[in-house]
Structure formats: structure tokens, C-alpha cells
Chain A
């Protein structure tokens, strides 16, 4: 079945560092790909999505590019802030448009 792999369980950075969180997927066709962010005590929030090869999604300074060749959708940010500390989830949509399959999440901690 469809699956999403996030290799980093935790990432620790200092403010203004460059962020990369890796996301690889396994699915047929061109599934929609998503990033969600979850702050402590809250539910996950939609960050952005992309649905075709080479499409870039972005929001709040974060971005990711859909790469069908490497089956990846890596999250990047040029300069992180302490307020970016949260758990980030990569997710994959099913072809019917109903279900999302989530990765295991990456906890980002940014020191001031």
C-alpha cells in the first residue's frame, strides 16, 4: 500500500540555520503530497501541498518541490526561528481524494 517515510525523528538547530526534513513516498501515479505542522497542545495544521511533478508548494517561508523521479517532497527553510519548533508531518493523498497517509513525523527544536 501507499506509504510515507520521514527519516529524521528529531532535528535540533539554532536560529537562522538552514532546515531540511526528508520525505520519501511510495505510491503509484501522481498522489497529492502535503506538509502539516503541529504545535504543542494543538492539532496538525495544513502547511501546503503539491500535486504534480516539479510543482513547488510553499508557506510561511517553508517550501518543498514534488519530485517524481526520486519520489521525494523534502521540506526546506532557509533560516529557522525559535517559533518554528514543532512536529512536521509529510502526508500522501489517495487517488480518490479522501484519505491521507501520514509519515511518522519529525520533531524540530530550534534554540534561540
Chain B
């Protein structure tokens, strides 16, 4: 088995600040994802990466940057934190296209903007 580790578990920042969330996986999976979870809105895809140094925009990429410098890690940066984007951010990975979209998730990081 493997695990996805997200750090920090809680990220507190001020409005306008640039904030970064980190994700590590030891599944040796090719594809990694960042989803945003808001109550009543489900999970919405921000960015995903098919392989190292690849980045693909999801439906909610505006206001975010992402980086995949190693196969095992995927980071997400909120470029200018706003109070209306306080949410839980979920990192996930999947092995490859053959298994068809089965994702493994981390426990989430909660963003708090003060």
C-alpha cells in the first residue's frame, strides 16, 4: 500500500498573501491532482499533472499555480489568498490511464484566510 501526505493540515494566511500547499505520494503513481472541496459544491478540479513537469488546468485554475518537479510531489500555490476561497484542498493520485480514473486521496489541507 501507499499513502498521500498533505502539508500543512491547516494553512493560515492573510488576504493577498501567496500561500503554498504541498503533497507527497509514495504509490509511484504517474498522475496527481489538486481538488478544492467546498460545502455543498462537491469537489472541483484545480490542476492535474500526468507526469513530472507536466501541468494541466482544471475547471478552477484561475488564482492558482501548480508545480510538479518530481514524480512523487505536487504543490499548489494560492497566488493571492481571498476570504471567499477558504476551503479544504485535496490532493490525489492515480496510477495511469489503464485503471481508468481511480483516485487515491490525501486527508486534505484546510485554508484559513484572516
Contact = CB atoms under 8 A, between A and B. Distances in A.
A89 B101 contact: no
A49 B45 contact: no
Interface in A81-110: 89, 91, 93-94, 96-105
A45 B108 CA distance: 12
A106 to B, nearest CB: 10
B105 A94 contact: no
Contacts of B108: 43
A98 B56 CA distance: 10
B104 interface: yes
Contact of B97 (A49, A89, A98): A98
Interface residues of A, number: 27
B90 A44 contact: yes
Interface bin, chain B = 20 to 34
* A interface secondary structure, majority: loop
Nearest to B101: A93
A105 B42 contact: yes
Contacts of B99: 97
Nearest to A41: B107
Interface in B90-114: 90, 92, 94, 96-108
Contacts of A41: 107
A2 to B, nearest CB: 10
B101 A45 contact: no
A32 B105 contact: no
B90 A46 contact: no
Nearest to B42: A104
B102 to A, nearest CB: 5
Interface centre among A36, A45, A101 (most CB of B within 10 A): A101
Contact of B40 (A43, A44, A102, A104): A104
Contact of B100 (A6, A32, A43, A101): A32
B41 interface: yes
A13 B83 CA distance: 35
Given A9-B40, A98-B31, A98-B48, A44 B100 contact: no
The 4 closest A-B pairs by CB, nearest first: A43-B105, A97-B97, A93-B101, A104-B42
